[in-house]
Structure 1
Amino acid sequence: MLTLTIPLLALPLLWTTLPATSLSVQSGDWDNPSCTKGVVSVSRGERAVMACNISNDFRGVIIYLGDHRKGQTLFRVRRPGYFRTAGWQLHVQGGSAQLVIDHANDTQAGCYTWHLHGRQRNVRVTMLNVSEAEPQDLKETRHLLLASSRDPDMDTPHLPRARDQLNVVVVVISVIVFLGLLLVSMSACTQSICPRPYAFWKYEAPLI
């Protein structure tokens, strides 16, 4: 009789815990990780930033350069804070983790595998591409072209504007046409006013 009483007493407790468990699942406890997508491309020596965010606080973050079995372990942290290793910086605060490379080089390019531990465990991958640094003169030329495209009234050194060239061509053509008309009108005026030279000495013999 006692053995039957214990399960019956446990039933009300079970019914009270089930709604609480269901409410916990439906209250948005999923991590919903969101990381830097696709490929991050920077020039050699530039700053590169990658990040992962979750809806809950981090309980642990592990970052590999490459695959987790064969790659290089960059960070393995279980608490918030600011962490550094040769060439990399990791800042973990709440549900945000940011990986920063101040001066990217070829050895830091590749696949970054993030193992994120919040209320669940998630794995995300971000690619870093490090390209050849752009020459300084090419940077300046691109800057001038961008500035010129934004401000049409801005004069760009060494790059004459097409509008100015068109104005010069129009002026030259106008001068040539004017001079041609002037010469034609002077020629017509001369022929109509001045007698022909042979009109003064031409002699006709009298008829007999």
Structure 2
Amino acid sequence: MLTLTFPLLALPLLWTILPATSLSVQSGIWDDPSCTKGMVSVSRGERAVMACNISNDFRGVVIYLGAHRKGQPLFHVRRPGYFSRAGWHLHVQGGTAQLVIDDANDTQAGCYTWHLQGRQRNVRVTMLNVSEAEPQDLKETGHLLFASSRDPDMDTPHLPRARDQLNVVVVVISVIVFLALLLVSMSTCTKSIFPRPYAFWKYEAPRV
């Protein structure tokens, strides 16, 4: 009887726990973190932005520049707000954490490890690549070349030159063909006016 009574008593308790579990899952109990994926690439001196979002409010955000707990610690915050340190700026509000670098340089490039704490603890990694800035005069030169190649006023003067060259080629080919035909005609006429001597004269040796 005792073995039958225990499962019977446990059934009402199980039916009470299951709806509560289902309700807490539907209410967003899981953090479901989403961070900037892959690699963020900027030129030296440009602005770099990385961010992480979770479904719940942040209880803590820890960011390292480097490998897991072995790099340079940048931020360790337990509350929302705006935090700044040596060129890095972190803004935490609700379930959003945004890391901004206004003037990126080589020392700030590398692997950023995010330790996120909401209802669970999650670790995410984002890479920052800082490349050499393109010289300003080179940018302006490239812009001018691109603009000139697309400007119809710059393309128009080249059209008559192309037509003139085509006309010259046609005239030269015509002259060559004419001279060739003239030479063939003169050769044919010469053969018909001056035939070979042996065509009319036949030498016969005297009979003995």
TM-score (norm 2): 0.68
Equivalent of 2:160 in 161, 164, 167: 167
Partners of 2:128 and 2:163 lie apart in 1 by 53
Alignment partners' CA distance in 2, 1:146 and 1:138: 12
Using the TM superposition, give the Cα deviation of residue 9 of structure 1 relative to its aligned residue in structure 2, in angstroms. 8.5
- How far apart in 2 are the matches of 1:14 and 1:141? 74
C-alpha distance in structure 2 between counterparts of 1:121 and 1:91, whole Å: 19
Q: Does 1:105 align with 2:98?
A: no
Q: Secondary structure at the match of 1:57?
A: coil
Shift, 1:47, TM fit: 0.9
> What is the distance in 2 between the residues matched to 1:84 and 1:94?
18
Aligned equivalents of 1:132, 1:165: Cα separation in 2: 38
RMSD of Structure 2 on Structure 1 (CA): 3.1
TM-fit CA distance, 1:174: 4.5
Q: Secondary structure at the match of 1:68?
A: coil
Percent identity of the aligned residues?
79
Cα shift readout 1:71-123 (whole Å, capped 9, x = no counterpart): 01100111111100001000111111111111111111100001111121111
Give the secondary structure class of the aligned counterpart of 1:113.
strand
Distance between the aligned counterparts of 1:24 and 1:114, measured in 2? 26
Q: In the alignment, which residue of structure 1 is the partner of 2:124?
A: 124
Letter in 1 for 2:30: W
Matches within 5 A, 1:6-25: 12=12, 15-25=15-25
Per-residue deviation, 1:142: 3.2
How far does the alpha carbon of each residue in 1:150-200 deviate from its partner, in whole angstroms, 9 at most, with x for none?
xx4466xxxx54x6423322146548979xx9xxxxxxxxxxxxxxxxxxx
In structure 2, the residue corresponding to 1:170 is in which secondary structure? Answer: helix
Residue equivalent to 2:183:
none
Task: Say whether residues 1:80 and 2:94 are aligned partners.
Answer: no
Q: How many residues align?
A: 167
1:135 & 1:10 partners in 2: Cα distance? 75
Report the secondary structure of 2:114's partner residue: strand
CA separation in 2, counterparts of 1:167 and 1:79?
72
> Distance between the aligned counterparts of 2:162 and 2:32, measured in 1?
64
Q: What pairs with 1:151-162 in structure 2 (closer than 5 Å)?
A: 152-153=150-151, 161=155
Measured in 2, the distance between the counterparts of 1:146 and 1:76 equals 48
Q: What is the CA–CA distance in structure 2 between the aligned matches of 1:90 and 1:79, rounded to whole Å?
A: 12
Change (3 A) 1:56 1:143: farther
- Given that residues 28 and 56 in structure 2 are in contact (C-alpha distance below 8 angstroms), is that contact kept between their aligned partners in structure 1? no
3-state DSSP of counterpart to 1:169: helix
Paired with 1:21 and 1:49, the residues of 2 have a C-alpha distance of 37
- 2:82 is matched by which residue type in structure 1? Y
Structure 2: tracts of 5 or more residues without a match:
1-7, 175-208
Q: For the residues of structure 2 that align with 1:78 and 1:148, how far apart are their CA atoms? A: 56
With over 3 angstroms needed to count, the CA separation of the structure-2 counterparts of 1:174 and 1:11, relative to structure 1, is closer
Change (3 A) 1:146 1:56: farther
Q: Which amino acid in structure 1 is aligned with residue 95 of structure 2? A: G
Aligned to 2:28: 28
